[in-house]
Structure 1
Amino acid sequence: MQISDLRIALTSGNYNYVRDGANRALNNLVGWLLDRGAAVRVYAPVVAEPAFAPTGDLVAVRSVPLPFRPEYQVPLGLGAAKRDIDAFKPNIMHLSSPELLGHSTLRYAKSRKLPVLASVHTRFETYFRYYGIGFLEPLGVAIQRRFYQQCDAIVAPSDSMADVLREERMNADVGIWSRGIDRDVFNPARRSLDWRRSLGIADDDFVIAFFGRIVLEKGIDVFGDVIVELKRRGIAHKVLVIGDGPARDTFAAQVPEAIFAGHQAGTDLGRAIASADLLLQPSVTETFGNVTSEAMACALPVVGADATGTRSLVTHGVTGALIAPRDIAGYADAIAHYADDCTAAHAAGKAGERVADGYTWDAVNGTLAAKYIDIIARRRAAGKG
């Protein structure tokens, strides 16, 4: 079987209406598969003003706004889209999130005896911690286990996340679908002193970046506490926030002297990241950490939480520092080291750039395509597909 023989029905709770690392990866994958002759059809919520145009054919599924976070949609299942999938005649289903749409798709696949692969993009169970209902986390793990164990295989974006999934007995077949980096966009040559100056940043200022969607689950509380600790110690720095999100006002109150550059895209995003001097990444919800890899590609040292995703990218003492997730003093110590020693910061940044060179979209998407083919072949050999 060749890639051009694949007919993939992909379901997503957020394919393009809010930009994030997960749907950037999915859109990249769809484009890569289509370029190689595969047939792909995507089923996801559709809104009037999406964050970006979808790659490939996108079929709407019924959804409602998420209470208290209306920028997100809750898909209510496949519904009438089942007829479209029947007409498309997929030979494999790809599920990208374990919500109502994912469960509906899993039931559909079982009824048609179709093989199923699920990709894991986010540690949804950890979100409970940020909204005062952390006691529900074990329930979240159990629900996800019941979902993922019904799939033929699951893939995680990093070794550290795959280890967690194996420990939690999510599935007997846990593979890796990593993430690629566009080195034309993310590289040290994008650094611009003129752009820094336009924001009021002096050439010799040490700039600590926050990069990503501004939401509680990205650890903005820890980021703010670290900045307070650096100020208490008298460590000179500037804070550059790259991105936007519903918790912007909360974050601005925590880091009142920060420079908010807003949402950036394309080469502007590469310029913004490369124009910082260090990435502080306190999130524990990552499964890979696109922001981390893209900062490394721009030769920034990374001080991050010793948690899934970041742990697979950052080597402590080589490309940056891994810190216990809520160790404020530990984060401050590591940042102070790089702020005081530009030679060490440069060496860590260059080491990170060399790591980033190993992440190409051709390699990671080719691995996933091979996994599709393997699952289909196994099903057919067992007489189940």
Structure 2
Amino acid sequence: MKILHVLDHGLPLQSGYTFRTRAILKAQQARGWQVAAVTGTRQGVSATTAETIDGIDFHRTPTIGKAPPVLGELREIHALSRRVAEVAKVFRPDILHAHSPVLGALAALRVARAMRLPLVYEIRAFWEDAAVGNGTGREGSARYRATRMLETWAVRRADAVSVICEGLRGDLIERGIAPDKILVSPNGVDLAVFGTPLAYDQALARQIGVEDAEVIGFIGSFYDYEGIDDLIASMPALVAARPSARLLLVGGGPMEAALRAQAAASPVAGQIHFVGRVPHHEVDRYYSLVDILAYPRKRMRLTDLVTPLKPLEAMAQRRLVAASDVGGHRELIRDGITGTLFPPGDPAGIATALADLLAHRDGWEARRERGRSFVEAERNWAVNVGRYEPVYQKLTSAVALPRSWSRPPVSV
């Protein structure tokens, strides 16, 4: 089986998107499949047109100059489509597997139609909702509605659709997409990377200033929808209840300056520690310092529909997890069993939930073990990647049949 993946961006860039991609491709290689990837113009300038990183062959699309909205996206689609076609002629894939955003699906559709290849389109989040979450779009705007229509158009024309969670699947079904066309391939953890938690790094704790503290941590990107401002706002009440509590923030992003200013103005500013971004291979050192990983996402369409990756990594590291009670978290966390859910947008509720967890250490080990077992059984990429196989097999079997873009999709 030869699969050509079409990506917005990939390694060596570091993001939740690239980590999921790496996990999928490495797990597919472990099954004996041949994989390659084409990254889009948003990868940025690359030194070479192709390079191998971590055993994966990446083919780069040349960057393009800036252009007005719509025209710029059309140019991105054209450039990526041309590069995918070039690579496909040499690699000769059995399957094209395009990953959101929808620009990649549109570029891959052109190639699939021209080369008579089946197309799987994988959606990790709806582009229009991601724009709202990142502060670059507004729900219900003309651009939002147009992007949503384009997404639905692409889904209808793909041979099969993969989504990362039930929230996205349900939304597509509401749009009239046949349920048996949709595969759920949930976020998972590469246990080869996050499989063995490190021992407590006392030297690092001393360096940061959290030695002998009860540490609440957030490790991830600093977007507004992550609700880190609510977590910072919860700290005065938490410190009043648990004087040794500290907040450790690892990462960066668009909200970093505002969050640092908020923390500096807090009456417990000395108990809030910013680390900044760290290399991915060092993240587990910071996990070793944290007692509870907190994920206070705000409630909105994006967070209700999409499951995050970070809580799974925390469970794999045998860390306690506390998160806001939004749809994406409810797919991952069983309240009181594998984690704690607290009201979204409620700093007082966050403080109460965290203080209660810190006060009841006798149940920590059992909860850590349940979280780890959940990841091993249901969110391990070595297991997850097997979900693609029956879809790939059916699509490649159908290639021998007369092909038409109006034919019924292959059920998954």
TM-score, length-normalised on structure 2? 0.78
The residue number in structure 1 matching 2:276 is 262
Unaligned stretches of 5+ residues in structure 2:
68-72, 406-412
Query: Counterparts in 2 of 1:1-385, with a 5 A limit?
Result: 6-16=1-11, 18-45=13-40, 46-48=43-45, 53=53, 55-64=55-64, 75-77=76-78, 78-81=80-83, 82-127=85-130, 128-131=132-135, 133-136=138-141, 137-170=144-177, 172=179, 173-178=181-186, 179-182=188-191, 185-203=194-212, 205-227=213-235, 230=238, 236-256=244-264, 257=269, 258-265=272-279, 268-283=282-297, 285=302, 287-358=306-377, 359-380=379-400
Shift of 1:378: 4.1
Give the share of equivalent positions with the same residue, in percent: 20
Go from structure 1 to structure 2 and tell me whether the alpha carbon gap of 1:37 and 1:291 turns closer, same or farther (over 3 Å shift).
same
Paired residues, number: 373
Letter paired with 1:197: R
Query: In 1, distance between residues paired with 2:152 and 2:201?
Result: 46
> What's the Cα RMSD here?
3.2
Whether contact under 8 Å (2:198, 2:284) holds in the other structure is no
Q: Secondary structure at the match of 2:389?
A: helix
Deviates more, 1:157-166 or 1:109-118: 157-166
Query: In 2, distance between residues paired with 1:382 and 1:225?
Result: 61
Query: In 2, distance between residues paired with 1:291 and 1:202?
Result: 24
Q: Secondary structure at the match of 1:95?
A: strand
Query: In 2, distance between residues paired with 1:378 and 1:222?
Result: 51
Unaligned stretches of 5+ residues in structure 1:
1-5, 68-72
Deviates more, 1:87-96 or 1:280-289: 280-289
Query: In 2, distance between residues paired with 1:175 and 1:372?
Result: 11
Go from structure 1 to structure 2 and tell me whether the alpha carbon gap of 1:270 and 1:133 turns closer, same or farther (over 3 Å shift).
same
TM-score, length-normalised on structure 1? 0.83
Letter paired with 2:388: L
The residue number in structure 1 matching 2:410 is none
Letter paired with 1:58: F
Superimposed CA distance per residue, residues 204-229 of structure 1 (whole angstroms, 9 cap, x where no aligned partner): x2211111122334333333333355
Letter paired with 1:322: L
Go from structure 1 to structure 2 and tell me whether the alpha carbon gap of 1:160 and 1:101 turns closer, same or farther (over 3 Å shift).
closer
Structure with the higher helix share, 1 or 2: 2
The residue number in structure 2 matching 1:3 is none
Whether contact under 8 Å (1:319, 1:348) holds in the other structure is yes
Query: In 2, distance between residues paired with 1:160 and 1:14?
Result: 24
Superimposed CA distance per residue, residues 366-385 of structure 1 (whole angstroms, 9 cap, x where no aligned partner): 22233222222245457559
Query: In 2, distance between residues paired with 1:343 and 1:381?
Result: 61
Whether contact under 8 Å (2:342, 2:349) holds in the other structure is yes
Go from structure 1 to structure 2 and tell me whether the alpha carbon gap of 1:183 and 1:38 turns closer, same or farther (over 3 Å shift).
closer
Go from structure 1 to structure 2 and tell me whether the alpha carbon gap of 1:224 and 1:64 turns closer, same or farther (over 3 Å shift).
farther
Query: In 2, distance between residues paired with 1:233 and 1:142?
Result: 49
Query: In 1, distance between residues paired with 2:24 and 2:310?
Result: 18
Query: In 2, distance between residues paired with 1:314 and 1:192?
Result: 27
